[in-house]
Structure 1
Amino acid sequence: MLALLGRVGILLLIYFLFFLGPFGVYSVGMVVFLFFARISLTLLEENPGWDQRGWSRYRSKRRRGL
């Protein structure tokens, strides 16, 4: 039963992407990318140990041998 549902789900996904067209697929991908980028930015802003420069503080410590 689960295999049948998986096959039906894959077929529905293929039909959805076919009717959406290539630009629709690209736009859906861009929306998903922006959504996850926004989530990650909010998580980084809430973390007090993270600065605006990203990994530059970590890299500078590695250069000094710490």
Structure 2
Amino acid sequence: MSARVVEAALLTRCAAVAREAAPCARDPREANVRLVLVVLVDLADQLAQDTVLRRKQILSTSRGHCR
């Protein structure tokens, strides 16, 4: 089995775990992939929140200059 096939199967399994279709990681490798995915999702969430805050700051600043 090639590395890509193994990786695809691992990611499919982790997606199932994330959707709670599977209760937990089966081995340390799966657990590590899940941890990386959690970190990436958390980072994406933080970046999205930062983007919203920056947009609000820009809008509030630009409105202040239009008065």
Q: TM tier, shorter chain?
A: 0.3 to 0.5
Give the TM-score normalised by structure 2: 0.45
Larger Rg: 1
Give the TM-score normalised by structure 1: 0.45
